[in-house]
Structure 1
Amino acid sequence: MARLERLRVYPVKGLDGIELEATDVLAGGTLASDREFALFDADGEVLNGKRTDRVHDLRTDYDAKTDALEVEAPDGEVARFDLEMECDRAADWFGDFFDEDLTLERDRELGYVDRREMGPSVISTATLETVAGWFEDEGMTVEGARRRLRANVEIGGVEPFWEDRFVGEGAPAFEIDGVRFEGVTPCGRCVVPQRDPETGEPIDEFRQRFVRKREETFPDWADADAFDHYYTVMLISRVLEADRGEALRVGDSVSVVET
């Protein structure tokens, strides 16, 4: 049976995610605590994994109930911040690490997601297993694929690339325990998935192999016209306004709804 297998949010954009048993859909359509914080340079540009592979040198953890952020540097130094009170101190620490003049900004209403007019990212467990299998010889695990692709919502009990069916002309929607999601666009990928999330080391010719495998395994039931290219995996969705404010919980049932 299709079910909500995992929920993962990324409290500080570009840094590690945390797994949740439950979270709310915000009024803006994103998930609570997802990309709630972001580092910006003096020109107002965001600092993330697309910009620097040094983000992979840091391990972070965040407690959404207490606003406590813990950061471990490569030398083993551990810094702790109360982000309700200490955003400036945290920004100074990150500025020293990245050697940039940084501010740490917070958006409780929407978060600093890339596509601010859209909603949660969605992938199936079977998709992650398939992608990890393409790079098994390079040591990619399913958890490694999770950390590379950085989805919010993971659906279990379905086939690989299940999420591809929700884009294109006449595409259905799906519901997680009555909360309705509609597909907006497939997610074209950047440089981040080719890098080991622990070390930042890239897999040689990652994109070329990914594109070849994606084309070979592209589902017959997906609408190819909805995809600009094959360097694409994961769905960017939108939660209906009427369902925003509702909670999602791991284990909730998932059903496809014809539009």
Structure 2
Amino acid sequence: MAGLERLRVYPVKGLDGIDREAAAVLEGGTLARDREFALFDDEGEVLNGNRTDRVHDLRTDFDPETGELEITAPDGEVVRFDLETEADRGRAEGWFGDFFDADLTLERDRELGYVDRREMGPSVISTATLETVADWFDDEGMTVDGARRRLRANVEIGGVEPFWVDRFVGADAPTFEVGGVRFEGVTPCGRCVVPQRDPETGEPIPEFRQRFIEKRRETFPDWVDEEAFDHYYTVMLIARVPESDRGATLRVGDPVDVVD
């Protein structure tokens, strides 16, 4: 039976995610605490893994109840900041600025978060897809959790086949519901440089993109509308929750149903 296997949000854009047992859908259509904070340079550009592999040098944890961010630096130093307070957000700016050697500000958006596609909503993948991608790179030591950390989806669906989410884009695509909350497919997620890198070390897998494209082409489901895909370097669905379903809460274990 298809069900909601995992919920993961990324409180500070570009840094580690945290698992949630439940997450509310905000009025903006994204999940609560997802990319709620982001670092911007003095030209207004966001700092993330697409810009620098140094994000992989940091281990972070976040308490969604208190707003405390814990950072473990490469030398073992552990620092904590209460991101609910302006003073500690200022301290965090200074710490990140020193680490990344840049003039940074830590911004906050409670209503939508700093997701890449601000007119859309949560990202969705199936557990079987993560297992398949990990198998493609088994010789390089990729695990399922490693694939999960590389691909950085919000919503993970269990009990379905690999690339299950591909059916929800294109002409006459169905939608699906998670615990009664409707998800409409918007676009396949084209990938950047981040999935190539080990999430612990930042070391890239040689020729990752080429092998990924070859394997994706070989395993592309015949029931997918190929015209909805610009290329094969895609995995994961960017979805939209209609306004009528925003404000609802998703919970791990919720049933998942396809709606024609």
Q: TM-score, normalised by structure 1?
A: 0.99
**What is aligned with 2:217?**
215
* Aligned counterparts of 2:18 and 2:41: Cα–Cα separation in 1: 25
* Aligned counterparts of 2:191 and 2:164: Cα–Cα separation in 1: 18
2:95 aligned counterpart, secondary structure? helix
* 2:244 pairs with one of 242, 245, 253: 242
The letter for the 1-side match of 2:14 is G
**What is aligned with 2:62?**
62
* 1:191 pairs with one of 190, 193, 215: 193
Deviation string for 1:25-79 (max 9, x for gaps)? Answer: 0000000000000000011100000000000000000011101000000000000
The letter for the 1-side match of 2:153 is A
Equivalent residues in 2 for 1:153-164, closer than 5 Å:
153-164=155-166
**What is aligned with 2:231?**
229
Deviation string for 1:197-223 (max 9, x for gaps)? Answer: 000000000000000000000001111
The letter for the 2-side match of 1:74 is P
* Aligned counterparts of 2:91 and 2:151: Cα–Cα separation in 1: 30
The percentage of aligned residue pairs carrying the same residue is 81
* Aligned counterparts of 1:235 and 1:67: Cα–Cα separation in 2: 29
Deviation string for 1:167-219 (max 9, x for gaps)? Answer: 00000000001100000000000000000000000000000000000000000
**What is aligned with 1:39?**
39
**What is aligned with 2:169?**
167
Superposed displacement of residue 84, structure 1: 1.0
**What is aligned with 2:84?**
84
2:165 aligned counterpart, secondary structure? helix
* Aligned counterparts of 1:96 and 1:257: Cα–Cα separation in 2: 50
The letter for the 2-side match of 1:60 is T
2:167 aligned counterpart, secondary structure? helix
**What is aligned with 2:13?**
13
**What is aligned with 1:52?**
52
**What is aligned with 1:102?**
104
2:150 aligned counterpart, secondary structure? helix
Structure 1 unaligned spans of 5+: none
The letter for the 2-side match of 1:91 is E
**What is aligned with 1:134?**
136
* Aligned counterparts of 2:186 and 2:23: Cα–Cα separation in 1: 21
1:115 aligned counterpart, secondary structure? coil
2:120 maps to 1:122: no
Deviation string for 1:123-176 (max 9, x for gaps)? Answer: 000000000000000000000000000000000000000000000000000000
* Aligned counterparts of 1:54 and 1:111: Cα–Cα separation in 2: 22
* Aligned counterparts of 2:119 and 2:62: Cα–Cα separation in 1: 25
Structure 2 unaligned spans of 5+: none
The letter for the 1-side match of 2:38 is A
* 1:152 pairs with one of 133, 151, 154: 154
1:71 aligned counterpart, secondary structure? strand
Superposed displacement of residue 110, structure 1: 0.2
